[in-house]
């Protein structure tokens, strides 16, 4: 399924960092904000909670295609695999609890 392109001109977002991210996540229609370990150190979950958006920490496993992903942002996997490929990999990880332990 192709993604939607949202242009900044059509979006309203508050200026505080976490509020802005929550606003943009809501504008994209997402129910979860995927956040890397760097972002988790400063992210305030309150604006997301207020909008009913979950915040999910993302730390890729250390093996396979994910090995180099720890050195880049969480978006690396999305850019490399595409939305369908990333969704398939995440579903596979969710079905293999031992793999999820490696990602934690």
The tens-digit pLDDT sequence of the chain (104 residues) is 567 777 777 777 788 889 989 998 998 889 999 888 788 889 999 999 999 999 998 877 777 777 776 666 667 778 888 888 888 888 887 776 555 444 44
Q: Which two tokens stand for residue 32?
A: 């979860």
């Amino acid at each position: 399924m192709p993604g939607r392109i949202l242009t900044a001109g059509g979006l309203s977002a508050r200026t505080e960092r976490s509020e802005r991210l929550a606003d943009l996540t809501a504008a994209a229609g997402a129910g979860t904000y995927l956040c890397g370990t760097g972002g988790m150190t400063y992210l305030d979950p309150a604006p997301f909670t207020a909008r009913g958006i979950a915040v999910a920490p993302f730390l890729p496993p250390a093996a396979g295609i994910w090995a180099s992903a720890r050195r880049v942002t969480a978006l690396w996997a999305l850019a490399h695999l595409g939305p369908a490929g990333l969704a398939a990999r995440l579903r596979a990880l969710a079905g293999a609890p031992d793999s999820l332990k490696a990602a934690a």
